[in-house]
A and B are shown apart, each in its own frame.
Chain A
Amino acid sequence: MKRRGLTTLILAGLFLFAGYAVFFIAPDEATMHAIQRIFYFHASSGWAAMEGTIIVFFANIAYLRTRAPKWDWLAVSAVEVSLAFWSVVLITGPIWAHPVWGVWWAWDWRLTLTLILWVLYVAYLILRTLIDDFERRAASSAIFGIFVFLGVPLDYLSIRIWRTQHPQPVLFGGADSGLDPTMAKIFFFCSALMTFLMIVLVVQRYRLESLRHEAVELRLVLDENEDEAGNAVARGNKRPSGAPITENL
């Protein structure tokens, strides 16, 4: 409990510093000015989301190989957290794009790929809500997750070729190339911070999932015991009141 409180405090402090660095330390970008500063959070969220996506893939494989529920908990936690980060990417992207490109959205490969992954992760979570049995849900979503991840390079490839055949008037080219050293430092700081946040969120979400699992199992035990107690009463041999409910575990 104490440790979690401390982590939250440290994170909050680091984010305050990051906000300060982004707005007051980072130099002004020559052509885009203030709007470029969103890039520090936009791109770093993208990194964190990608890292989360890789965690999902390995957790999915590990679940199918070992059948240990913990891998399923890790997978669903990482999917939810990555989805949150992908959403940040998808929301901050157009905010930046509109003044700079003049449009909210362009079918650039990065944008398209992010959107596809976002949709697929939403589908992943919907799939999970529609299967009740734990093992079936875990196995089905693991199979789907693996397919999603294997599709990423193919998506990348096809969108890349598709876009080079139909060139867009405005594409990336400013912020990425030749970063100012101060900008680079702040950007790496923000990326590390977002990764830290991602890991903290996944750990928290994982804990929640394991507690939820525990609660379901306890409830099952409780129901069984109540049934037996009920039968015992019906048969006339009362069980002593106050006996521990887990006596016949």
Chain B
Amino acid sequence: MDAARAAAIILRKEIRAEMRTRELLQTTVTFVIIVVVLFSFSFQPSAAETRQFGPGLLWIALLFAGSLMLNPSFAKEQSNDTIYGLRMAPVSPFSIYLGKMLANLLFLALTEVVLLPVFAVLYNVSLWPVLGRLIIVLALGTFGMAVTGTVFSAVATQARMREVLLPLLLLPVLVPLLIASVEATAELFSDAPTLDRTWLAVLIAFDIVFFVAAWLLSDYLLEE
């Protein structure tokens, strides 16, 4: 079977499973909003401070949400014993990885769709003028997060304490992504918003390096 078609089938399965319960989305979206609200209690930022801390806050909230949301990606297959079905399916492990990764990317993007307006209102930031450029930064950052997070979700699945383990593995690996995304977002929040090419290049490099690594290592992800 064509790898892309197989990945599309896995993606459709993930979406259907999620739409039946909406468990993942409703918990993650609520979580991310709680994080943003709690941040404002602990900092009480003024307009100038928001400009300074806002990008970091936005990305930390996203990273936390991602490290929680990515965990069930493989863990639910393990606990429902459907992992055997996936292993026996006549598709390449990379297609399974790709389908799951795209599903995670989609769910993270949906979370961001909710998060951005809430963030803009609570912190009084006008995102509208830079929205197009912000979406580019968000897309590159979220892609990198989904790529590495889906691999680590598979790695952590067979471990004990996997819920705690995943952020432990994922967050330090995402350091370059966090720095690049925060700095690129900060450039967009400044008085003369620009799309910083250097940081975009770092983000693109991160995405390519880890996507290729995931592709090369995908054969080992689903083994028993």
A residues bordering B, Cβ < 8 Å?
64, 116, 119-120, 123, 126-127, 130-133, 135-136, 139-140, 142-144, 146-148, 150-151, 154-155, 157-159, 161-162, 165
Residues on A with C-beta less than 8 A from B161 are: 130
Main secondary structure of the interface of A (DSSP, over half): helix
B59 is an interface residue with CB less than 8 A from chain A: no
Q: A144-B155, A147-B213, A158-B180 are in contact. Are A139 and B172 (CB under 8 A)?
A: no
Residues on A with C-beta less than 8 A from B223 are: 135-136, 139
B176 is an interface residue with CB less than 8 A from chain A: yes
B202 is an interface residue with CB less than 8 A from chain A: yes
Q: Nearest CB to that of B213 among chain A residues?
A: A150
* B84: min CB distance to chain A, Å: 15
User: Which one of B158, B206, B209, B210 lies within 8 Å of A140 (CB-CB)?
Assistant: B158
Q: Nearest CB to that of A117 among chain B residues?
A: B172
B19 is an interface residue with CB less than 8 A from chain A: no
Q: Which 8 A-B pairs have the closest CB atoms?
A: A130-B159, A158-B176, A154-B176, A158-B179, A140-B155, A130-B160, A131-B159, A119-B172
* B129: min CB distance to chain A, Å: 23
7 contacts between A and B (CB under 8 A): A123-B168, A126-B165, A127-B168, A130-B162, A131-B159, A147-B210, A158-B179
B169 adjacent to A127 (CB under 8 Å): yes
* B138: min CB distance to chain A, Å: 17
Q: Nearest CB to that of A130 among chain B residues?
A: B159
Q: Nearest CB to that of B144 among chain A residues?
A: A154
CA–CA, A45 and B179, complex, Å: 28
B136 is an interface residue with CB less than 8 A from chain A: no
B202 adjacent to A154 (CB under 8 Å): yes
Interface centre among B175, B183, B224 (most CB of A within 10 A): B175
B173 is an interface residue with CB less than 8 A from chain A: yes
Residues on B with C-beta less than 8 A from A147 are: 148, 151-152, 173, 210, 213
Beyond contacts A131-B158, A151-B175: 10 other A-B pairs, Cβ-Cβ < 8 A, are A120-B173, A131-B160, A136-B223, A142-B220, A144-B152, A147-B210, A150-B213, A151-B176, A154-B206, A158-B175
- How many B residues are at the interface, by size bracket? 20 to 34
Residues on A with C-beta less than 8 A from B60 are: none
A139 adjacent to B220 (CB under 8 Å): yes
Residues on B with C-beta less than 8 A from A165 are: 183
Residues on B with C-beta less than 8 A from A135 are: 223
Residues on B with C-beta less than 8 A from A161 are: 183, 198-199, 202
Binary interface profile of B, 195-224, with partner A (CB < 8 Å = 1, else 0)?
Answer: 000110010011001100100010011011
Q: A144-B169, A147-B210, A150-B209 are in contact. Are A162 and B217 (CB under 8 A)?
A: no
CA–CA, A130 and B152, complex, Å: 14
Residues on A with C-beta less than 8 A from B152 are: 144, 147
Residues on B with C-beta less than 8 A from A139 are: 220, 223
Residues on B with C-beta less than 8 A from A132 are: 160
